Amino acid sequence: MKNLSTILLIVLFLAVAGIYVLHFTGTGNGKRVATAEGAGESKSHGIVYVNIDTIIFNFEMFADRRNDLLNKQKNAEAELNSKTSQYEKGVRDYQEKVNKGLVTRATAAQMEQALLQQQQDLVALRDKLQSELIEEEQVMNRQILDYITKFLEENKSEYNYQFILGKSFGGPVLYSDSTLDITYKVLNALNEKYRSEKK
């Protein structure tokens, strides 16, 4: 009886070891099925990529929006420079009057208070203009990416890929086969669509 249980234990151990070897070394049917499935996927070319930096910087919509943003930035700088010049003129006027003794101490204190308020207003205006420009730039970038994404979704039958990755310097895609690059195909189609919409 004791020998029978020892023999069963040995047979069971060998069976488990055999299953383990077949499963993890890939000599069983499971590996062949996975290889057959993988071969089917590689033929479909389900993944391609675009260089997102190239697309954005050569996309005419980006150039137009960037020029609009640069014009707003120039206008904001002009407004800020004009108010800064007025403030500096006020400071010179105050210093001249105080140095020559042309105003009373009470008037000088009032002038100083007004200049201090003007300086605080200038700082607040500068901060407001900066934050508005930063927000507009962020919105512009999101609108451009949204336009590109919608374009790819609308034309998915044209591209017929499961995934289109966006590659950029420092991004998560570190290496890609150049035969999978459809950047210029997408860029040309995007610019063509944008030009027709602009008309």
Structure confidence at residue 161 (pLDDT): 87
Structure confidence at residue 174 (pLDDT): 87
Is the pLDDT reported for residue 7 higher than 60?
no
The rounded Cα 17 to chain-centroid distance in angstroms is: 51
Structure confidence at residue 8 (pLDDT): 46
What three-state secondary structure class fits 61?
A: helix
Structure confidence at residue 189 (pLDDT): 96
Would you kindly state where each structural domain of the chain is located, as residue ranges? Answer: 1-44, 45-198
Structure confidence at residue 59 (pLDDT): 97
Structure confidence at residue 32 (pLDDT): 40
User: Binning pLDDT at 50, 70 and 90, where does residue 157 land?
Assistant: confident
Structure confidence at residue 19 (pLDDT): 52
For residue 22 the two structure tokens come to 């077949």
Q: How confident is the model over 27-57, as pLDDT tens digits?
A: 444 444 343 444 434 344 589 999 999 999 9
Structure confidence at residue 10 (pLDDT): 56
Do residues 144 and 59 lie in contact, with contact meaning Cβ atoms separated by under 8 Å? Answer: yes
Q: How confident is the model over 76-115, as pLDDT tens digits?
A: 999 999 999 999 999 999 999 999 999 999 999 999 999 9
What three-state secondary structure class fits 9?
A: helix
SS (H, E, C) 140-188: HHHHHHHHHHHHHHHCHHHHCCCEEEEECCCCCCCCCCHHHECHHHHHH
pTM: 0.68
In the chain, the percentage of residues whose pLDDT exceeds 90 is 67
Q: How confident is the model over 116-152, as pLDDT tens digits?
A: 999 999 999 999 999 999 999 999 999 999 999 999 9
Q: Which range, of 4-13, 138-147, 176-185, averages the lowest pLDDT? A: 4-13
Do residues 135 and 72 lie in contact, with contact meaning Cβ atoms separated by under 8 Å? Answer: no
For residue 142 the two structure tokens come to 């999101």
Q: How many residues does the chain have?
A: 199
State mean pLDDT over 150-159: 89
Rounded to the nearest integer, the mean pLDDT of the chain is 83
